[in-house]
């Protein structure tokens, strides 16, 4: 549970390295594989039960799920997520007889591989990946443009293992302390490398926060107020790029009054720019196929981006013959979207090439880079009103900070209730506005060109490194076993 302090809104980045050092110490001294697995499972339950409590808010407060069912669903999810550290520790005990450095490297590789598996299996749930805790203030954030969030997870666990051995063997034994310091100072040094370069002059942007209550958003009697709110915010902005949140207007695009859109498009053209508006889009007359889409209006030709990575049970129902009943339990409008294509290209807007990602999509860095290095900046639109006043929106902000670090691009976040923010290419929040207020965030955003190593290669290098470490560990474990026999 203490590990959650490493993540937003606390940002105490040394904490995960310390808690993992304690955990790895228990694991190294565990007597059996089952004991080690139970340690990993209990650690996971503490981490996830404390760190993703916002899921209860989504299910119960806004999804109308009964309290007992929401609590049960949360516990089941946390138990599933806890299986990943449990299995990694169960396997790690097989390397007990190897040298401390081999054991530490193997622990880091296994942890990272199981985090990556958690982020991909069954569409993935990479929330609270350990590497996020290091964005943006930790020296280890310097590794983000090279090895991404999963690589940073591996570095954190390796550091934690070295810390354990350094304390266990005595602080005067610099055999473990020196590499630990070199890693952290090395990360600090990497932050001085300029992987990308500015492109042109900064562009004026306005990120709109309509603050539409989640329980009012889909009510017919509140629709006019919602449309007036966003029209007012748009018309008051003289920025070249204006961004509204995810499905800011709760209508299908084909039924939005054309006079409304034309008026907003004309205003964007007067600004020599464009406005992005979130709408639901249907492609069939019966409405069975519909998308979570961002439309552009203004100086550039109309463009659209359809959300690709959907939230299970929130935006689509997996295995409908088995889980179709969930639609009746959760009172979530439009809960079975279709997927947009993964290879969508950046939009040409306000003189920039803008890579759009909608809400949950920015959790998947390996998918964000599909639009790079062509894109000059990133835009994330979300509706984190589903999380209420929990720590969920702040954690989501930190995830966006990691995407900015990995790609070397500004990340512009326009959200319904917050956290709306301008994040620079180093993951720093330059501007933000108070959550749960109706406001527009006006500022400047710099476009960038070039590609970081992570943009060019994604997760492949760190996955290959983990595989190599495991091969070395297996050879070492085999030799150690032969010696004991």
In this prediction the pTM is 0.94
Cβ atoms 198, 184 nearer than 8 A = no
In this predicted structure, what is the pLDDT of residue 66?
Answer: 87
| CA 249 – CA 404 distance, rounded (Å) | 27
Same domain, 247 and 117: no
Same domain, 67 and 80: yes
More confident residue, 239 or 481: 239
Active centre residues (catalytic)? 246, 307, 359
DSSP 8-class letter at 57: I
Which domain CATH number covers 357? 3.60.110.10
Torsion of CA 193, 195, 200, 202, to 10 degrees: -70
- In the predicted model, what is the mean pLDDT of residues 116-144? 96
SS3 state at 120? coil
Same domain, 188 and 241: no
Tokens of 446: 């710099």
Q: Where are the alpha helices (DSSP H) in 274-338?
A: 320-323, 326-329
Cis peptide before 9 (omega within 30 of 0): yes
| CA 422 – CA 410 distance, rounded (Å) | 7
In this predicted structure, what is the pLDDT of residue 140?
Answer: 98
Same domain, 261 and 166: no
pLDDT band at 446 (very low <50, low <70, confident <90, very high): very high
In this predicted structure, what is the pLDDT of residue 466?
Answer: 97
Is 323 a residue whose pLDDT tops 70? no
Same domain, 103 and 166: yes
What angle, rounded to 10 degrees, do the helices at 460-484 and 100-118 form?
140
Same domain, 189 and 314: no
440 — alpha (psi -120 to 50), left (phi > 0) or beta?
Answer: beta
Instruction: Report the percent of the chain where pLDDT is more than 70.
Output: 94
- In the predicted model, what is the mean pLDDT of residues 399-413? 98
Cβ atoms 315, 343 nearer than 8 A = no
Domain region containing 96: 2-194+458-484
Residue found under tokens 């959200």? 415
Same domain, 182 and 315: no
In this predicted structure, what is the pLDDT of residue 41?
Answer: 98
Residue of 452, 466, 356 whose CA lies nearest to 407: 452
In this predicted structure, what is the pLDDT of residue 86?
Answer: 98
- In the predicted model, what is the mean pLDDT of residues 182-187? 96
Same domain, 207 and 189: no
- In the predicted model, what is the mean pLDDT of residues 8-33? 96
| Number of domains comprising the chain | 2
In this predicted structure, what is the pLDDT of residue 65?
Answer: 82
| CA 79 – CA 42 distance, rounded (Å) | 9
Instruction: Report the percent of the chain where pLDDT is more than 90.
Output: 80
pLDDT band at 387 (very low <50, low <70, confident <90, very high): confident
pLDDT band at 158 (very low <50, low <70, confident <90, very high): very high
Cβ atoms 418, 281 nearer than 8 A = no
- In the predicted model, what is the mean pLDDT of residues 366-391? 94
Is 328 a residue whose pLDDT tops 70? no
The DSSP bridge partners found for residue 204 are 444
| CA 365 – CA 357 distance, rounded (Å) | 11
DSSP 8-class letter at 316: B
In this predicted structure, what is the pLDDT of residue 483?
Answer: 78
Mean pLDDT (the chain) is 93
Same domain, 187 and 203: no
In this predicted structure, what is the pLDDT of residue 439?
Answer: 97
In this predicted structure, what is the pLDDT of residue 325?
Answer: 54
Sign of CA dihedral 357, 362, 366, 367: negative
Mean pLDDT is lowest, of 74-78, 334-338, 348-352, 371-375, for 334-338
In this predicted structure, what is the pLDDT of residue 154?
Answer: 98
In this predicted structure, what is the pLDDT of residue 319?
Answer: 59
Same domain, 434 and 357: yes
Same domain, 237 and 307: yes
In this predicted structure, what is the pLDDT of residue 111?
Answer: 98
Cβ atoms 437, 233 nearer than 8 A = no
| CA 42 – CA 21 distance, rounded (Å) | 15
Tokens of 282: 């249907």
Same domain, 156 and 184: yes
| CA 82 – CA 289 distance, rounded (Å) | 35
In this predicted structure, what is the pLDDT of residue 129?
Answer: 98
């Amino acid at each position: 549970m203490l590990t959650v302090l490493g993540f937003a809104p606390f940002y105490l980045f040394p904490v995960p390295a310390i808690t993992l050092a304690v955990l790895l110490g228990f694991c190294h001294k565990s007597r059996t594989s089952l004991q080690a697995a139970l340690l990993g499972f209990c650690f996971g339950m503490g981490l996830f039960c404390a760190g993703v409590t916002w899921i209860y808010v989504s299910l119960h407060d806004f999804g109308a799920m009964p309290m007992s069912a929401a609590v049960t669903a949360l516990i089941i999810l946390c138990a599933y997520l806890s299986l990943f550290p449990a299995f990694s520790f169960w396997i790690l005990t097989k390397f007990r007889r190897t040298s401390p450095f081999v054991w530490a490297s193997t622990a880091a590789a296994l942890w990272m591989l199981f985090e990556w598996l958690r982020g991909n299996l069954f569409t993935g749930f990479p929330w609270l990946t350990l590497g996020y805790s290091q964005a943006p203030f930790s020296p280890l954030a310097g590794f983000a443009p090279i090895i991404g969030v999963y690589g940073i997870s591996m570095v954190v666990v390796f550091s934690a293992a070295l810390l354990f051995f350094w304390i266990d063997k005595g602080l005067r034994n610099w055999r473990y302390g020196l590499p630990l310091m070199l890693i952290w100072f090395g990360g600090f040094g990497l932050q001085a490398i300029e992987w990308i370069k500015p492109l042109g002059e900064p562009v004026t942007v306005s990120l709109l926060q309509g603050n539409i209550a989640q329980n009012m958003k889909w009510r017919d009697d509140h629709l006019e107020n919602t449309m007036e709110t966003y029209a007012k915010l748009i018309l008051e902005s003289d920025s070249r790029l204006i961004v509204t949140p995810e499905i800011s207007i709760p209508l299908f695009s084909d039924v939005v009054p054309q006079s409304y859109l034309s008026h907003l498009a004309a205003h964007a053209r007067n600004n020599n720019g464009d406005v992005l508006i979130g709408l639901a889009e249907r492609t069939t007359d019966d409405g069975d196929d519909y998308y979570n889409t961002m439309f552009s209006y203004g100086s550039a030709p109309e463009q659209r981006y359809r959300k690709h990575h959907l939230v299970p049970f929130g935006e689509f129902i997996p295995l409908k013959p088995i889980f179709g009943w969930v639609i009746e339990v959760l009172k979530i409008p439009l809960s079975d979207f279709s997927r947009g294509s993964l290879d969508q290209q950046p939009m040409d807007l306000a003189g920039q090439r803008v890579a759009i990602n909608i809400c949950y999509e920015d959790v998947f860095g390996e998918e964000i880079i599909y639009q790079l290095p062509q894109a000059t900046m990133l835009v994330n639109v979300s509706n984190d009103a589903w999380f209420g006043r929990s720590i969920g929106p702040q954690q989501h902000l930190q995830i966006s900070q990691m995407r900015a670090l990995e790609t070397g691009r500004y990340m512009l976040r326009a959200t319904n209730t917050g956290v709306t923010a301008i994040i620079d290419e180093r993951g720093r929040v330059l501007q933000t506005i108070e959550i749960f207020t109706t406001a527009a965030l006006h500022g400047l955003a710099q476009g960038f060109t070039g590609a970081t190593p992570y943009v060019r290669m994604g997760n492949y290098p760190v996955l290959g490194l983990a595989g190599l470490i495991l091969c070395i560990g297996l050879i070492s474990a085999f030799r150690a076993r032969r010696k004991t026999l």
